[in-house]
Amino acid sequence: MEPCKTGILAYRVNDATQELEILHYCGYWHSPLTPTDFEVLNEELRADPEFAINGEFLLIEAPQDLVDAYNKDVVEYIADNHPDGVPGEIDNQKYPH
């Protein structure tokens, strides 16, 4: 599996606690990110009930150390849970069962 090259982070500051809330991370296999990447994710996070993000939030390009940590976690998860590969098709790439 090819690691993500970059990502977008959705976040906001909680008005009551003033703490940073990380709402969503989306990894991308292409770099650099385009304005369309931000527009599409913004629309999806606002419109898709699966995400249920209410209120205001901001999107930023994820710092590289977060992208690296995400990639490491995904590789470890797959190794632990799918030792023979990821079943099915992901992004039009076939992975062994």
Give the pLDDT of the chain (97 residues) as one tens digit per residue: 678 999 999 999 999 999 999 999 999 999 999 999 999 999 999 999 888 788 899 999 999 999 999 989 887 887 788 777 665 545 444 434 3
In a domain, 1, yes or no: no
Q: What is the pLDDT of residue 86?
A: 61
* Domain assignment of residue 52, given as a range: 6-94
SS3 28: strand
What residues form DSSP beta bridges with 22?
11
**Number of compact structural domains in the chain:** 1
C-alpha span between 77 and 31 (Å, rounded): 24
Alpha helices in 1-97 (DSSP H): 35-47, 64-81
In a domain, 77, yes or no: yes
